[in-house]
Structure 1
């Protein structure tokens, strides 16, 4: 009798394992399908494309939407959810994030023939993790370096901080502000005002606040309701940036990052791939 029970318990455990793998496989198939679709697919399209019963597709998609893994797009289709995007970005290594957003950083710099940069929020600081320089090696350019950015002055940091929660902002601003140039804002009220201006216009500016003659403009890369963890921007000599116009650069950057980071995850997908 004991052997009979053990044999059937083992069969039950094996069946549970098989079912678990089926659910995981379907989960990954749905994510891949949604991420790779050029337009937000309907649930019916998911069912048809993956040859799933409609009832199964509706049930799984419903569960994924409840958890923020998938969400409805503006036209009623499906796209990767902000919770999922935030989870992937927070778990990704720096090299994986750079891989995902290299083309975006490069496109940002190329749009103005200047240096593009990518910033990442670590939870306590903002790091500049990637830089792309102009394709024309004969063109003089600014290289901002990599590593920690001053949260009160750098455009990459402002573009992230401005869109964090109020308590988190105050926590990050509880420090002494270094004075770099005559234009550096070092009083707390002034820094708060600059963050408010960044929120209002949707892009951050650092105009000779770290280095004389150098101007940068950056925009946040939003993960929807899960907030902001990345920023991307352009830096160059102040004269050349002024020729383009700071406002024009800011608006162009906002257009270039529209739909990110979902689009980047959909194109690269090495982090969400499951074979």
Structure 2
């Protein structure tokens, strides 16, 4: 479903601020893969998402999605095939528009290729309400309220629904629960796994939680200095502990993982 070949990206080349953000990235995801990505700040995780989603063009290499070369495809055209959630719950929605209007934007952009609001039918609205009800947050009774009135968790759950209302070919989750309180984060994560499983989505999720990186999905990646230094799945991953993961990182990166936020997550 997704294939990256020799993807490289350097920001501010030839200056004192030069940053080699991605170094010769090779990655393949099969349809239905759910891979968690772990790495310290600056490891290249969000930059990898930018290369896939079209936030910038790579200096070298190619990005292919479902057999189509999208390396130089504009971001807005990729967004019809790629759903993305960010760490900040304020991103991904229009706060002054209602819940229904936000859902309509997401739905029409992907399902009906940018048709006007007049094309939202009563059947569409019933579908929105049914999908909202499944979130279990009572949002189906607040469809005419501005999104800006929602809590962070409600807004992130709505953004997740918007990104998957029409199932995308690829779902990118950029630490989408990191800004939420633990209880809300757990609920949004449970909704995420439910929606991904329901639609059989191909998914990449950035996380700082080592336990989640091993327990969610079917694959774990670790990044360091713009490189993928670990990629485990199958039987090897099933029997792996967090300590094993840290040891594998040390072997692949040539150094120990020292990020406090990640290391603290190893304590349940």
Q: Give the alignment's TM-score, normalised by structure 2.
A: 0.30
- Rg (Cα) greater in structure: 1
Higher relative contact order structure (alpha carbons within 8 Å, sequence separation ≥ 6)? 2
User: Higher strand fraction: Structure 1 or Structure 2?
Assistant: 2
User: Higher helix fraction: Structure 1 or Structure 2?
Assistant: 1
